[in-house]
Amino acid sequence: MNITQLPYIKDVYGFLGSDVMSGLVGLLIIAALVPLNVAFLVLVERKVAGHIQLRPGPMEVGPHGILQTLIDAVKLLGKEMVTPSSTDKLLYWLSPIIVVAPAFVGFIPLPFSPLVQIKDVNVGFLLIFSFSSIGVISILMGGWASNNKYSLIGAVRSVAQNVAYEIPLLLATMPIILMTNTFKLGEIAQAQAQSGLWFIFYQPIAAIIFFIATTAETNRAPFDLVEGESELVSGFHTEYTGMRFSLFFLAEYTNMVIAAALFTTFFLGGWHGPVLPGAVWFFAKTYFLLFVVMWIRWTYPRIRFDQLMNFAWKILIPIALVNLFITAIVLKVL
C-alpha cells in the first residue's frame, strides 16, 4: 500500500485535499492577485497612454516608473477622506464597499490552469455575471449620495448603460454554452483544449460582440461617458477622496481583469498552449486583451448617450440573436 493510506498520514494530512483548504488557498490567491494586478495594470495603462501620445509616461519613481503605483497607493492612503456635509451618510459610506466586494467573487470560477482553479462552480459564468450586476447599484448609490448634479447624471447614465449591455453579453455567450453544453468554465477550457481549435474561429461575431459588451459593462472607453472627463468632471466619483476613490479604481480594474479572463476562457482557449505551463498562457492572453482594451481607449472619442443605447438595441442585439439562431440550427443539423 502506498504512503497516503498509512493511517497516521491520512488523518493528519488528509485535510489538505478538503474544501476548507482549497477555500483558504483560494483566498490567498485572490488577496495576492487583485492588488498586484491593479498595480501592474495602472502602470501599464499610463505607459501605453504615454507612448501612444509620444511621451514616456511615469519615469521618476523607480527605473522607468515601475514603482509608481506603489507610491500612488501610499499617497492615497495618506489623504484625508473628506465627507461633504450634505451627503446621505450611510449610502456614501457603503457605496465604495459594495462596488469592490463582488469584484473579488469573480475570481472564484476562473480556470487559471488545469490544476489551479479555486472552485469549479457548476454555474460558473452565471456567478460572475450576477455578481457584477451588483456593482451597478453601488454606482447609483454613490452618485445619489454625493448630492451633486454631475454625479447624479453620471450615475443615471451608468445604470441605463449597464442594463442595456447585459443583454448582448448574454446573447453572445449563449452560442458557446450551446456548443459545450455546460456552464462550468473549467470544462469550457477543457473542450477547447481537446478539440484543438479555439472557439474564436467558430464564433468570430460572438467574440466581437462579447468584447464590445464587456467594454461597455466595465465603463471603459469609448463607453466611458459615465465618468466622462470632458463633460461631468469625474462622474459618480467626483466627491470621493482618498482611499474611497482608490476602491472605485480597484473595482474598475478588477472588473476589467475578470472580463478579459472570461473572454480568454470562452474564445481563446483558456490555458491551452503548446510549450509553457497553462497558467502562463492564461495570463499572457489576458494581458494581451487588456492591452487591446487600453489601445482602444486612447484611439476613439466617446459615444454620446443616446447613440450608445441605439448601438446596443439596434445593432448588437439583432446581430447576436441572428448568430444564436444560426448556431442552434447548425448544431441541430450536424
Residues that bind other proteins (CB under 8 A): 48, 50-56, 59, 149-150, 153, 221-222, 224-225, 228-231, 233, 295-296, 298-307, 315
Residues 6 or more apart in contact with residue 166 via CB below 8 angstroms: 129, 133, 213, 217
In terms of phi and psi (left: phi > 0; alpha: psi -120 to 50; beta: otherwise), the region of 62 is left
Q: Which is nearer to other proteins, 130 or 299 (CB)?
A: 299
CB of 54 to other proteins, least distance (A): 5
- 149-153 own/partner pairs: CB under 8 Å, 24+ apart: 150/232, 150/233, 150/234, 150/235, 150/238, 151/232, 151/235, 151/236, 151/237, 151/238, 151/239, 153/232
Long-range contacts for 240-243 (Cβ within 8 Å, ≥24 apart)? 240/96, 240/142, 240/146, 241/79, 241/80, 241/81, 241/82, 242/76, 242/77, 242/79, 242/80, 242/81, 242/82, 243/76, 243/77, 243/79, 243/81
Cβ distance to other proteins smaller for residue 30 or 225: 225
User: Could you tell me the smallest distance in angstroms from the CB atom of residue 72 to other proteins?
Assistant: 20
Q: For other proteins, give the closer residue by CB, 43 or 128.
A: 43
Is the Cβ of residue 15 or residue 300 nearer to other proteins in the bound state? 300
Closer residue to other proteins in complex, CB, 221/256: 221
**Shortest separation between residue 136's beta carbon and other proteins, angstroms:** 19
| Minimum distance of other proteins from residue 167's CB (angstroms) | 18
- Residue among 247 and 294 whose Cβ is closer to other proteins: 294
Count of Cβ atoms closer than 10 Å to residue 300 Cβ? 10
User: Closer CB to other proteins, residue 157 or residue 244?
Assistant: 157
Do you find a cis peptide bond into 274, omega within 30 degrees of 0? no
Rounded least distance, CB 10 to other proteins, Å? 57
On whether the CB atoms of residues 320 and 171 are closer than 8 A, the answer is: yes
The distance of closest approach from Cβ of residue 137 to other proteins in the complex, given in angstroms and rounded to an integer, is 21
Provide the minimum distance between the beta carbon of 55 and other proteins in the complex, in angstroms, as a whole number: 5
